[in-house]
Amino acid sequence: MEIVLVLGLLVAGVVLFATEKLSVDVVTLLLLCALVLAGILRPAEAFAGFSNEIIVILACIFVITGGLRRAGLLDVIGFAAVRLVGKRPALVTPVTMGVVGVISAFMNNTTVTAMFLGPVIGLCERLGRNPSKLLMPMAFASILGGTCTLIGTSTNVAVSGYIISVGLPPLGMFEFAVVGGAVLFTGILYFVLFGTRLLPDTRGEDLAEEYHIREYLSEITVLPGSPLAGQNSLDSDLSILNFQILKIVRGGEEFSPDSREVLREGDLLLVNGRADNLMKVSKIEGIELRQPGAQSGPALETKGARVAELLVLPKAAVAGLTLRESDFRRHAGLGVLAIYRQGQTLRDRIAEIPLREGDILLVQGPPDRYAALQRSADLAVLSTFEVEPDRKVAGLWLVAAFGVAVVASAMDWVPLPIGLLLVALLAVLTRCIPVEEAYRVIDWRLLILIGGMTAFGRAMEVSGAAEFLADWITLGVAPFGPMALLAAFFVLTVLLTQPMSNAAAALVVLPVALHAAGELGLNQRTFAIAVMLAGSISLITPFEPSCVIVYGPGKYRFRDFIRVGLPLTLLLAALVLPMIAWIWPLR
């Protein structure tokens, strides 16, 4: 009955992870509660995963990466890389993927992808190249680069923590760097020789035309005696009728209004709103209204206002909130013209649409507001805004300290959790990142997921579910040899990463694989590394946060990831499996 219950909970967890009806951390905690109430785990066992050193390691990596981002060093590296290849178009793909992959070997791949997003799109604009040809390779490189070191991905850290709990030696910092380097190099070679041809070529247009904004623009002149005169530009009668003032022309000067601007008689207003609401606007006395779409007047951009795109990043505070609820215009200083979501442009009543991760906002506002957003953990600017020249020296010290901690832990001079904790504390003490933001940049959902799924793996062992599954898989595959068994667990992990996160899938398969290897007298470490790497080379669907980030800016479709990622996943599997068996013998 315990086996049936554990396997039933596993199936239920996979379904809930796939449907995303509940947050992954909530699902994980519900599974733990069920295991304790059923008597399969004691409370101490259920929560033992949260006291594991892997939680400290991952939390420190999030803080360090956040500190480097705020210090602007990742911006500098990103812009330097794109300038390097700007004069050599043939090197754009390999150099961009190489730089992103190397950095992602030591930092959170989601953050690295977000930081390179703006520079890469800017490079594509200068070269006249479509961003869709480079953004997916960049995202894949950030994922593949994580296979090079222990701290490259949360999956690696989680697997290392689990094998320690069952009595196996921990994974070394660079133990699988040879395999990871081969994986990254193969990924780069795949796109240089073949993969780029499979990518879509969605030619861009003027942003206003691309989002079909022109048909929603109108011009209003504030006549003498108009009730609009004296009203705040953001809270006028026009805003009540869902019209947004994008620009004011006053005395030959054009500017974008802010929260302090008051409308005056004689102002010419460029407004954005539905055409069927114009009849309501026309009833306001003291205004002169032009037909929608008439563009004899001001354009969207002026010297004091730019039109650009913003990407809503994973874990953004505005995700789930409407523009009205977040008071976006006042806080960001930018007006939102439209929302692009999975191939659709949303323009109607956008202030009432809850934002989602991966949404692209077409915005308008002063250039200095975009510069301020470049360090935001919520939004990424998809345009070529130069980074601020004054970089904090503390950021350089943080990089140096991070390098020392990595080397020291690799040489066994300092335990890895202590080394990374000291660097994270340095980031706070040198004010590279405030304490409040340090807590905010930590992905608590991921930590709960890994801690909880580690306990679930323990439940599979004590209930006999791991032994049950291992016996069935061994019965069907073992007659074909140890290599076939290794490949079976590799494929099983890849398949489970589609409905689940990579770390969760690895932690589910790992106890089963280790039990099967132990029963047959095979090297358990070989199977652990195979399961770990299988989670990181699964590139079939765009569920990884790095892929979510480029999904909208690249104007991709779901099938684009399958068409490009499936052949690459198969190629990497064919490369990795023999290398694992060669470096870590099966017996």
- pLDDT for residue 291 is more than 70: no
At CA 530, angle to CA 95 and CA 570, rounded to 5? 55
pLDDT digits over 240-250, tens only? 767 777 778 88
Mean pLDDT, the chain, integer: 81
Contacts of 194 (CB under 8 A, 6+ apart): none
**Do 253 and 351 share a structural domain?**
no
What confidence score (pLDDT) does residue 140 get?
Answer: 94
Residue 298 lies in a domain: no
**Do 279 and 142 share a structural domain?**
no
Q: Which of 421, 419, 426 is nearest to 395 (CA)?
A: 426
Question: Cα separation of 505 and 410, whole Å?
Answer: 27
H-type alpha helices, 319-366: 323-326, 328-332
Element (H, E) at 239: helix 237-240
Question: Cα separation of 284 and 279, whole Å?
Answer: 9
Task: For the full predicted model, state whether its pTM sits above 0.85.
Answer: no
What confidence score (pLDDT) does residue 145 get?
Answer: 93
pLDDT band at residue 119 under the 50/70/90 scheme: confident
pLDDT band at residue 501 under the 50/70/90 scheme: confident
378 secondary structure, DSSP code: S
**Do 356 and 247 share a structural domain?**
no
- Residue written as tokens 């340090």? 438
Residue 167 lies in a domain: yes
What confidence score (pLDDT) does residue 296 get?
Answer: 38
Task: Extract the tokens encoding 271.
Answer: 């407004």
- pLDDT for residue 559 is more than 90: no
Q: What is the mean pLDDT of residues 160-186?
A: 91
Angle between helix 109-127 and helix 73-86 axes, rounded to 10 deg: 30
Domain boundary among 344, 366, 381: 381
What confidence score (pLDDT) does residue 304 get?
Answer: 58
- pLDDT for residue 108 is more than 90: no
Task: Decide: 49 and 451 in contact? Cβ < 8 Å.
Answer: yes
**Do 254 and 125 share a structural domain?**
no
**Do 220 and 198 share a structural domain?**
no
pLDDT digits over 503-546, tens only? 888 888 999 999 899 888 999 999 999 999 998 888 888 878 78
**Do 183 and 86 share a structural domain?**
yes
- pLDDT for residue 128 is more than 70: yes
What confidence score (pLDDT) does residue 300 get?
Answer: 54
Residue 369 lies in a domain: yes
CA distances from residue 462 to 3, 8, 39, 510 in whole angstroms, order as listed: 9, 15, 11, 14
Task: Decide: 309 and 363 in contact? Cβ < 8 Å.
Answer: yes
What confidence score (pLDDT) does residue 297 get?
Answer: 39
Cβ burial, residue 193 (10 Å; 0-12/13-18/19+) = exposed
Question: Cα separation of 431 and 569, whole Å?
Answer: 41
pLDDT digits over 188-227, tens only? 999 999 888 888 876 555 555 555 555 556 777 888 878 8
Question: Cα separation of 217 and 292, whole Å?
Answer: 6
CA distances from residue 396 to 71, 106, 391, 400, 430 in whole angstroms, order as listed: 9, 16, 9, 6, 11
Q: Which of 465, 504, 463, 494 is nearest to 573 (CA)?
A: 494
pLDDT band at residue 383 under the 50/70/90 scheme: low
pLDDT digits over 50-75, tens only? 888 888 888 998 888 888 777 766 66
Task: Decide: 543 and 498 in contact? Cβ < 8 Å.
Answer: yes
3-state secondary structure of 242: coil
Task: Decide: 487 and 526 in contact? Cβ < 8 Å.
Answer: no
For the chain, what is the domain count? 3
**Do 411 and 372 share a structural domain?**
no
Could you tell me which residue, 458 or 576, shows the higher pLDDT?
576
Residue 301 lies in a domain: no
pLDDT digits over 29-46, tens only? 999 999 999 888 899 888
- pLDDT for residue 87 is more than 70: no
- pLDDT for residue 473 is more than 80: yes
At CA 564, angle to CA 77 and CA 123, rounded to 5? 30
pLDDT digits over 292-311, tens only? 444 433 455 555 566 777 88
**Do 466 and 321 share a structural domain?**
no
**How large a percentage of the chain has pLDDT more than 70?**
83
Residue 391 lies in a domain: no
**Do 555 and 535 share a structural domain?**
yes
Kind of pairing between the strands at 360-365 and 244-250: unpaired
- Residue written as tokens 């504390």? 425
What confidence score (pLDDT) does residue 204 get?
Answer: 53
Burial pattern 287-310, b for ≥16 Cβ within 10 A else e, equals: beebebeeeebbebbbeebbbbbb
Domain boundary among 289, 323, 341: 289
Q: What are phi and psi of 331, to 5 degrees?
A: -75, -40
What confidence score (pLDDT) does residue 534 get?
Answer: 93
Q: Which of 287, 286, 222 is nearest to 257 (CA)?
A: 222
**Do 430 and 575 share a structural domain?**
yes
pLDDT band at residue 431 under the 50/70/90 scheme: confident
Residue 297 lies in a domain: no
Task: Decide: 538 and 144 in contact? Cβ < 8 Å.
Answer: no
**Do 222 and 197 share a structural domain?**
no
**Do 420 and 375 share a structural domain?**
no
What confidence score (pLDDT) does residue 293 get?
Answer: 44
One DSSP character per residue, 363-399 reads EEE-HHHHHHHTT-SSEEE-S--PPPS---HHHHHHH
- Residue written as tokens 């579910």? 465
Phi-psi region of 105 (alpha: psi -120 to 50; beta: other; left: phi over 0): alpha
Domain harbouring 310, CATH code: 3.30.70.1450
CA distances from residue 419 to 70, 427, 456 in whole angstroms, order as listed: 21, 13, 29
pLDDT digits over 337-376, tens only? 778 776 677 766 777 788 888 788 878 777 777 766 766 7
192 secondary structure, DSSP code: I
Task: Decide: 379 and 311 in contact? Cβ < 8 Å.
Answer: yes
Residue 402 lies in a domain: no
Residue 485 lies in a domain: yes
Domain with 252 in it: 214-289
CA distances from residue 92 to 46, 131, 442, 522 in whole angstroms, order as listed: 48, 11, 32, 44
Q: Say which amino acid occupies 392.
A: K
